[in-house]
Amino acid sequence: MLTIDGLKKALRNAQSEIEAHKDTLTDLDRAIGDGDHGINMSRGFDAVSAILDDDYESLGALSKKVGMTLMAKVGGAAGPLYGSAFVKAATAFGDATEADFPLVKQALEEGAASIKARGKSEVGQKTMVDVWEPFLKGLSDSDDYAEKLDRLVHDTEDMKATKGRASYFGENSRGTVDPGAMSSAIILKAIMKEVG
Ligand SMILES: [Mg+2]
């Protein structure tokens, strides 16, 4: 079960993991982008952690606030994508104060659909979609979430980017893990850990 406190804990863990990987995210984005992903995500999750001390009456209310905060603070291409994912997930959570595995999965699927629609991207383009969609596809509560997420992040290394700024690097985008895939895995790992 994912409770309101559980989601708060997940977001605090995500913040500390993003902080721990800030330089890596920056280096990856410097290789195939504009080098701001680590800084943007760190700023966004610092802002998220600041709203976690407030009281929320539902998972939907918390998720919506997180989404609005990420939209306002992350910037770059990732801000609107992550922001809209949490806002859309909020509609799935609704008034629930705790969510079982199927509801969490449904909320994340809403989030993934929003990322795809906003980013106009599909699987195989070396973006965060390459983590969100295959992770959720056929996901069961007996899966090793962390192992699956690590593998999906690793799989973006050999892909050629055909979407976003990284696509300007063409063949040279191969050999670098997608930074958005890595930050997505950090966030999803933190959430799934609290689902149990
Ligand atoms: Mg960037």
pLDDT score for 65? 98
pTM check: above 0.95: yes
Q: How many A from CA of 25 to the centre of ligand 1?
A: 9
Burial 167-196 (b: 16+ CB within 10 A, else e): eebeeebeebbbbbbbbbbbbbbbbbbbbe
Give residue 52's domain range: 2-195
pLDDT for the residue numbered 51: 98
Ligand 1 (single-atom ion) residues, CB below 5 Å: 29, 33-34, 36-37, 76
pLDDT of residue 18: 98
Q: Is the pLDDT of residue 165 over 90?
A: no
* Angstrom distances, CA of residue 34 to CA of 8, 37, 122, 131: 31, 8, 22, 21
Q: Which residues contact 50 (CB under 8 A, 6 or more apart)?
A: none
Mean pLDDT for 70-88 is: 94
Q: What is the predicted pLDDT for the residue at 164?
A: 86
CATH of the domain at 156: 1.25.40.340
1: tokens are: 């079960």
**106 phi/psi in degrees, rounded to 5:** -60, -45
CA of 84 to the centre of ligand 1 (A): 18
Q: Which residue has the tokens 């959720």?
A: 136
Residue 143's pLDDT is: 95
Q: How many domains does the chain have?
A: 1
What pLDDT, in 10s, does the model give residues 20-66?
Answer: 999 999 999 999 999 999 999 999 999 999 999 999 999 999 999 99
In the chain, what percentage of residues exceed pLDDT 90?
96
Assign 75 a pLDDT band (cuts: 50, 70, 90): confident
Give the per-residue pLDDT at 144. Answer: 97
Is 90 exceeded by the pLDDT of residue 77? no
Helices (H), 59-100: 59-73, 78-93
Distance between Cα 147 and ligand 1 center (Å) = 26
